[in-house]
Amino acid sequence: MTNPSRIDARFAALAAEGRPGLVTFITAGDPDLATSAEILAALPAAGADVIELGMPFTDPMADGPAIQASSLRALNHGMTLAKTLELVRGFRAKDSATPLILMGYYNPIFSFGCERFLEAAAAAGVDGLIVVDLPPEADDELCVPAKAHGISFIRLATPTTDERRLPSVLANTAGFVYYVSIAGITGTAAPDVASVGRAVARIKAHTDLPVAVGFGVKSPEQAAAIGGTADAVVVGSAIVQALTDSLDADLRPTAATLGAVTDLVSRLAAGVRRARAA
């Protein structure tokens, strides 16, 4: 069993520091496997407290254009779920502290085989799973087995998750709760800070788990504002777009690619670090 407390330990450390965390998202294999591994390895030093690694999928229902395109780039370069787990193994061989969460959709996991996937993910050093299209009613499919492998299953709550639905969402959630700050797909609208604050308070009335807020956070200023009430701020589309903007006309990495990502992550990290002082 991999270390089941890596996420808990990181959030406890953040609480002790009195600041929110920065959760960064990239897509595994984007724009290619070697570059993706280089970026993944550089994220903690740039300021990522927790890393979400997207599992490329052809038909994502919650991802906006930037992340959809990143998945297609990765798949066009032959990325697979098995290679995603190899990427995790390579990262974990050099970093034993940073929590790493796989985020994606159920179809590739089901095709891979749930038990085979969980055994491989635990062995590789995966700490958590976010599977967007598996509702609480299907917890026996993957959520409960994941917990048996020491992998936290992180559930999303949204602006439309009401008081009747919230207990079901939280029932088997571990690590943290991911609050989706907008009603829509990733990266398409800016979150309303006041509404997010009220939503975080409402969720915290039901659970002791940390609450991370994502979808729509693009700038250090937004990260600082959201971090005023959230335990962590999740940034995905903006980081993927920074990577995209660094590619050449054939969508291949350039000398600027790594720096484009790490520079933005460093600025976002500075934003969350000043959140509680703002």
Which residue is catalytic, options 30, 32, 49, 63?
A: 63
Query: Is 63 considered catalytic here?
Result: yes
208 carries an active-site annotation: no
Structural tokens at position 265: 């992550």
Q: Which of 52, 127, 139, 231 is catalytic?
A: 52
Catalytic residue ranges: 52, 63
